[in-house]
A and B are shown apart, each in its own frame.
Chain A
């Protein structure tokens, strides 16, 4: 099976993580362990009494960066996007593989609702219809999220040394497609929420 090679994302390397963090929830456990280990190494309360001011300052800066990154990196979608971004950067040929589109049946309904809203803003029936549509989009988005999770769990990732990784092309292409679509639906969801507000 053809394979795509990419680098360990910079954000991980910044934190001193040279190995690859899985995208799956297993990674959260790995990340937590790394977090505690690094905190013990850098925390001012555990630094030797004779540590110089410069070294203290440096340790504090490193730990502060780690703590602020930890909260973000423990979110699977954040790690996924970071990895996908890295893949696209290392493999520019993938960039235009697919543009996200609204599924046809959703698109039809969306434009109809948009028209109805412009004609009669504040009409209770239209609002109700938007509410229903919003719910439909929400369910679809959640479903996509689940699909992505399953996909991540079943995608084998190979390590090549400390910095390089590889994954099956087909799997990566599907992942990019699903994620783009999920993001698209999410923005649609926000748009509908704004209309309802």
Chain B
């Protein structure tokens, strides 16, 4: 469901053909804590893993001091407390995120984070290298692909990858990019709870309304589905991308830390190593508490050979976790409302995700829905099995089964004053669309800026910026003449297409739609592929494109202003302005960022007087018919 931006004029986009029915399609659950790969054989989905290993591959990657790959999975986990800065875990939380997005979330991550040059995506600093979460995830995917190929004895290069339903566009695009970087063609990115429902419904054809409660390592999703023979319809989905087992561990780690007496030798350990040791201790204690009333948390620092032990009772842990889990129940409430049903209309509540093993989770879910939840599915495996089943559908072997999914987050347009007008409401079925008509406010206006945001908040600044577009190419015409209809369509893959046409002129005039911000999947891939050898060139060429877009606006504005006010300034100044304008046009074609920037600055400096004249005239024009005393 990645929403990427495709550009379109008025001509229809070429659609990718459904893949020919051949070769396996892997179902991959790329989890915060653990990942799995499955495949469908003879109509049955099963997890693929080496005979001497566990089905789960820990989503942990360790690196050498120079940033090169060392280990993936269990071997990397072992290194965690000894080399905290080099062992990367919970990277899923960083996907498609900048430092600004992560705010408080990173205080307890022992490795070092920094923003990339665009400020769009964090990087992990290891030695001299900055590594993107996409690269780390692609290493996990490569390991899964290798597992599958070994088990099946054939090469696998197509996959369906799952993401939390509540992942936004940037997070989905990053996930897709990781797949491609790992050499996988990602046929579709599907929502984890939907995948779980598919796995549940495939073998359980009882029609009914079910809730999938999916609490994983780092994310929480709730989806309400209507299951009918051959049709799995998502009615609503809600969630929190910052709520999961990690949060339970952190709360417990904090509690354990508070019990370490002042002056204990552990306090001499480096903060990042102590934090890593605390998290390991907390995770063990959490698992123990699922089966027993109390657990011993053992904090051990291997370097100084010091340790600390404390016993925690289940009820004490539950008191720490209750406020965190309450947030999950609030999401459930909102999902029910959106599906327009009440808890008594839910026939089954299905638990998914390793964190639903925590007894308190089961208890709270049972209380909220008024029924004992179904924990019979393997909460770790069901998502990847569902992904493999969706792969089966997409390769034409689904026997008429259909998954009807929804848009998880509303899509809106920024309007005057930074407010948001909803274009497409969350939980609308896919594909879906919205149309808006724009008109020109003055004869000079030949372009519009559109800012598309994703989220439920009322102000654009509180939503996530998805893309900025410029509609251009309008011919000069009286104010209100043009009627530009913009079509926003999200297709079954969740790809947003924006097309525009002038209703007044029909197809005679093509309106150009171009993004001036926002990174598409393709661009992201390109950036990654070139990241190693020519990081610098890549960046400067992107900056050049951005600057050229800006320059073309400046040139047009300068020409307009000169036409209307050029005769009102000194002839020498006018000549100077004209010369600078010619310089800028030359610089535009020179393809040098530096030259273009300088030319723009110079034109701007000598155009100040002209701009003032125009502003003053506009004001006096506006005041002409008004009573001055009222101004």
* Residues in A lying within 8 Å of B, measured CB to CB: 35-36, 39-40, 43-47, 49, 53-54, 56-57, 60-61, 63-68, 70-71, 74
CB-defined contacts of A67 to chain B, threshold 8 Å: 428-433
* Interface presence of B7 (CB below 8 A): no
**A36-B231, A49-B396, A60-B491 known; A70 and B15 CB under 8 Å?**
no
CB-defined contacts of B231 to chain A, threshold 8 Å: 36, 40
| Cross-chain contact B491 with A53 (CB below 8 angstroms) | no
Q: How far is the CB of B337 from chain A (nearest CB, A)?
A: 14
* Interface presence of B12 (CB below 8 A): yes
| A-B CB contact pairs (8 Å), 23 listed | A39-B402, A43-B402, A44-B492, A45-B393, A45-B398, A45-B403, A47-B18, A49-B17, A49-B21, A49-B396, A53-B12, A54-B12, A56-B15, A61-B433, A61-B489, A63-B431, A64-B432, A64-B433, A66-B429, A67-B430, A67-B431, A68-B424, A68-B428
| Cross-chain contact B425 with A53 (CB below 8 angstroms) | no
Q: How far is the CA of A67 from the CA of B434 in the complex (A)?
A: 10
CB-defined contacts of B434 to chain A, threshold 8 Å: 68
Q: How far is the CA of A67 from the CA of B405 in the complex (A)?
A: 11
Q: How far is the CB of B474 from chain A (nearest CB, A)?
A: 25
Interface size on B, residues (CB 8 A): 34
Residue from the list B400, B404, B430, B489 in contact with A36, Cβ < 8 A:
B404
Q: How many A-B residue pairs have CB under 8 A?
A: 74
| B380-427 at interface with A (beta carbon < 8 Å) | 393-394, 396, 398, 400, 402-404, 424-425, 427
A-B pairs, 6 with minimum CB distance = A67-B429, A64-B433, A67-B432, A64-B431, A57-B12, A44-B492
The interface bits of chain B over 3-34 (1 if a CB of A lies within 8 angstroms of the residue's CB, else 0) are: 00000000011110110110000000000000
Question: In chain B, what residue has the closest Cβ to A56?
Answer: B15
**Chain A residues touching B, majority SS:** helix
CB-defined contacts of B573 to chain A, threshold 8 Å: none
Q: How far is the CB of B391 from chain A (nearest CB, A)?
A: 11
CB-defined contacts of B398 to chain A, threshold 8 Å: 45
Residue from the list B18, B340, B404, B432 in contact with A68, Cβ < 8 A:
B432
Q: 18 extra interchain contacts, Cβ-Cβ under 8 A, other than A65-B433, A67-B428?
A: A35-B429, A36-B228, A43-B402, A44-B431, A45-B393, A45-B394, A45-B398, A46-B402, A49-B21, A57-B12, A57-B15, A60-B15, A66-B429, A67-B429, A67-B430, A68-B428, A68-B432, A71-B425
CB-defined contacts of B18 to chain A, threshold 8 Å: 44, 47, 49
CB-defined contacts of A68 to chain B, threshold 8 Å: 424, 428, 432-434
| Cross-chain contact B394 with A70 (CB below 8 angstroms) | no
CB-defined contacts of B400 to chain A, threshold 8 Å: 46
The interface bits of chain B over 418-456 (1 if a CB of A lies within 8 angstroms of the residue's CB, else 0) are: 000000110111111110000000000000000000000
* Interface presence of B233 (CB below 8 A): yes
| Cross-chain contact A43 with B14 (CB below 8 angstroms) | no
Q: How far is the CB of A43 from chain B (nearest CB, A)?
A: 6
Q: How far is the CA of A179 from the CA of B321 in the complex (A)?
A: 49
| Cross-chain contact B15 with A36 (CB below 8 angstroms) | no
Question: In chain B, what residue has the closest Cβ to A40?
Answer: B402
